Structure 1
């Protein structure tokens, strides 16, 4: 007997999947996590039937001034970060809320460098091709906005 179950999951998408269509990347990651595994109180997962909603998701852009293809995915922001009502990310630190304002200087750690394959054809409305993408993180001692560590 088979049972269809609805599962809600917060899924950090690995950087190497960010160049694929979003739905395909999410389905691939969900299959990696759940397919052919026994889920508590549900049983054996044999298929991902449907993805009902995709909410949230954000990649924090970083620029060196001469190189703009640096991204910091949400799961590599400081833990307990949230997006404020004004669209600015906020780190909920024990000493108070620390906003991650755009256009501020930041220290980050490179976690991965991607060299995507050159597309044979590109849609007219697609963003320009980037031959190299850097994935970084700002969670760690001394990392993050310089204004956080000013004193």
Structure 2
């Protein structure tokens, strides 16, 4: 539980996360591609279009269109599942890995620029906590999905 003094600060988290998403150094198309490439690359197992849709929080036709564009641009490929050959899974291509690395470098450069006036300790602390938050949010999302919510 938080103290009453922290409540106003905690109420600002949602809007702050929304502003962060809008202020990334990429166009809307690049944001979608980056999200897709990271979801596929970070999946603990095989990733299908349906799984991608669920992870992105979009309906399957939206995920399918994004996947089709990534395939057309050589960033993803469809492959037969190793667990069930009747299923189709998504894999990053070499070009997809290169693009994912490029996005990460752009985001790091933006982070470094935005936090240039911060102390090295604050910058490292925030980076650690942001990565921890993202990891815990992914685990939370998986738990919610497995609970049937």
Q: TM-score band, normalised by the shorter chain?
A: under 0.3
The two structures have a TM-score, normalised by structure 2, of 0.26
Which structure dedicates a bigger proportion of its chain to strand?
Answer: 1
The two structures have a TM-score, normalised by structure 1, of 0.25
Which structure dedicates a bigger proportion of its chain to helix?
Answer: 2
